[in-house]
Amino acid sequence: MILFLAGTSDARELALLMKENGYDLLATVVTENAAISLRESGLEVHVGRLTSNDMAEIIREKQAKVVVDACHPFAEEASKNASQAAKDANVPYIRYERESQTFQHEKVTAVDGYEEAAELVKEKKGVVMLTTGSKTLEIFTEKLRDCKDVQLVARMLPRKDNMEKCQQLGVEQKNIVAMQGPFSKALNKALYEHYGVTLMVTKESGKVGAVDEKLTAALEMGIETIVIKRPKINYETVYSNFTDVLEAVKQVFQNEKIPIE
């Protein structure tokens, strides 16, 4: 058994690949929506946020032999919890993370966090498309609440809790883009043009997260972009491709002399 932290499109692909290779796994996701496609593929899924103690208990209960963390590059807390749980349960921890991207352009500014990004938005002003999700929306609305020269357009997943959060934080319906990505460059351009965007804020989530489509579209239209850099976490074992992850998992099972189903 493998405890597998999922929740992104490439994580799902990796989970299915591991299943095809004969591994039994329990996938964990935060939302019921994220669980649907995994269950449809025949995978066992746990829905809900887990502490390190929760994960360690699952590892022991399921007799998992390894933790594979394939959650989003910005799911910092989940990754730290998974790493700690693996240590507490005395099993190996393997991190899969999308390959990082670097963007060099005069209209691209990289920042270390959401607070810094919000301060920069306040300085630059204009029509701002925020593509960083709902989790940190409050940071931006708090910083920009009294800034009359900023129109904040929030792009996020079309979930009820997201819409309720926008309402609570004062984001008008006309300034909400509730759509499931990833988006093509053409669609990004259409949205920028529709709202008259002058500044775009995004996270460095990797190519699978469609950051390059967002950025390319913005730059081709002369739109300035703020890119929030990934959290700095020192993983002991981290890979950016499926082949290496599978090989590492294979080694764990061989060392444990556990047959693959």
The per-residue DSSP string of 144-191 comes to HTT-TTEEEEEEE---HHHHHHHHHTT--GGGEEE--SPPPHHHHHHH
Of 237, 200, 208, the C-alpha closest to 105 is: 200
Q: Is residue 244 part of a domain?
A: yes
Query: How is residue 13 written in tokens?
Result: 């692909």
Cis omega (within 30 of 0) on the bond before 259?
no
Strand partners, 257: none
In a domain, 147, yes or no: yes
Same domain, 46 and 69: yes
C-alpha 111, offset from chain centre: 17
CA separation for the pair 59, 93 (Å, rounded): 12
Q: Do 71 and 130 lie in a common domain? A: no
Q: Which residue has the higher pLDDT, 32 or 218?
A: 218
Q: Would 224 be classed as within a structural domain?
A: yes
Do 68 and 15 share a domain, yes or no? yes
Phi-psi region of 230 (alpha: psi -120 to 50; beta: other; left: phi over 0): beta
Residue 70 has pLDDT above 80, yes or no: yes
- Nearest Cα residue to 188 out of 234, 155, 151: 155
Total residues found in the chain within this entry: 261
pLDDT at position 258 over 60:
no
pLDDT tens digits for range 106-149: 899 999 999 999 999 999 999 999 999 888 999 999 999 888 89
259 has pLDDT over 70: no
In a domain, 12, yes or no: yes
Write down the residue that tokens 């701002």 correspond to. 128
User: Does 217 share its domain with 128?
Assistant: yes
Residue 225 has φ and ψ, to the nearest 5°, of -135, 140
164 has pLDDT over 50: yes
Q: Are residues 252 and 196 in the same domain?
A: no
pTM of whole model > 0.85?
A: no
Q: What are the φ and ψ backbone dihedral angles of 97, each rounded to 5 degrees? A: -135, 135
**Is 212 found in the same domain as 150?**
yes
Q: What is the CATH number of the domain that holds 175?
A: 3.40.50.720
Q: Check whether residue 144 and residue 188 sit in a common domain.
A: yes
Mean pLDDT over 212-234 rounds to 89
Region of poorest pLDDT, from 7-16, 187-196, 203-212, 220-229:
203-212
Parent domain of 186: 108-228
Q: Which residues contact 128 (CB under 8 A, 6 or more apart)?
A: 121, 150, 151, 152, 153, 197, 198, 199, 200, 201
In a domain, 9, yes or no: yes
Identify whether residues 95 and 125 lie together within a single domain: no
**Based on the domain organization, do 122 and 195 belong to the same domain?**
yes
Using a 10 angstrom Cβ sphere, with 0-12 exposed, 13-18 middle and 19 or more buried, the burial of residue 8 is: buried
Q: Helix (H, G, I), strand (E, B), or coil: what is residue 111?
A: strand
Contact 140, 203 (CB under 8 A): no
Query: What pLDDT, in 10s, does the model give residues 192-221?
Result: 999 999 999 998 876 654 567 888 899 999
Q: Give percent above pLDDT 90 in the chain.
A: 64
- Measured CA to CA, the distance from residue 106 to residue 16 in angstroms comes to 40
- 29 and 83 together in one domain: yes
In a domain, 261, yes or no: no
Domain shared by 114 and 146, yes or no: yes
Structural domains of the chain, count: 2
Segment 171-191 shows an average pLDDT of 91
Q: Identify whether residues 126 and 71 lie together within a single domain.
A: no
Structure token digits, residue 21: 């290779």
